[in-house]
Amino acid sequence: MKTNTNIIILGAGFAGMMAALRLANRTRHQSVAITLVNASATFVERTRLHQNASGQTVPAKSLRTMLQGTKVNFVQGKAMALDPVRRTVTVNASEGVQTLSYDKLIYALGSHTDLSRIPGATEHAYAVEQHAVLFEHLHKIAPSHGRVLVIGGGLTGIEIATEMAETHPALRVAMATSGTLGEDLSKMGARYLAQTFQRLGITVHEHVKVLRLEAERALTAANEQLSFDVCIDASGFGVSPLAQQAGLAVNPRGQILVNAFLHSITHPDIYAIGDAAIFEQSAELSVRMGCVTAIPLAIHAAENLACALAGKAEQPFQFGYVIRCISLGRHNGLVQFVDGVDHPRESVLTGRVGAAVKELILHYVMWSLQIERRFAFYRWPHTQQAHPQTPTPTTGLGTAPLLSEVTNH
All domains in the chain, ordered by first residue: 5-113+237-309 (3.50.50.60), 115-233 (3.50.50.60)
Q: What values do phi and psi take at 234, rounded to 5?
A: -130, 35
3 pLDDT tier (thresholds 50, 70, 90): low
Mean pLDDT of 224-246: 96
What's the first-to-final CA gap in the chain, in angstroms?
Answer: 42
pLDDT at 29: 87
pLDDT at 26: 92
Residue 167, number of CB atoms within 10 A of its CB: 19
pLDDT at 400: 33
Contact (Cβ atoms closer than 8 angstroms) between residue 9 and residue 34: yes
Q: What values do phi and psi take at 144, rounded to 5?
A: -100, 20
Global pTM? 0.90
pLDDT at 138: 94
Q: What are 158-209's pLDDT values in tens digits?
A: 999 999 999 999 999 999 999 999 999 999 999 999 999 999 999 999 999 9
* Axis-axis angle for helices 291-309, 351-372 (nearest 10): 20
Query: Within a 13 Å sphere around the CA of 353, how many CA atoms are in the beta-carbon half?
Result: 5
Q: What values do phi and psi take at 324, rounded to 5?
A: -125, 125
Distances in whole angstroms, Cα of residue 301 to Cα of each of 14, 72, 109, 212, 273 = 13, 16, 14, 40, 7
Q: Return the closest-CA partner of residue 258 out of 87, 99, 105.
A: 105
Q: Return the closest-CA partner of residue 305 out of 23, 86, 73, 6.
A: 23
pLDDT at 393: 33
* Axis-axis angle for helices 14-26, 291-309 (nearest 10): 30
| CA pair distance 255, 278, nearest whole angstrom | 6
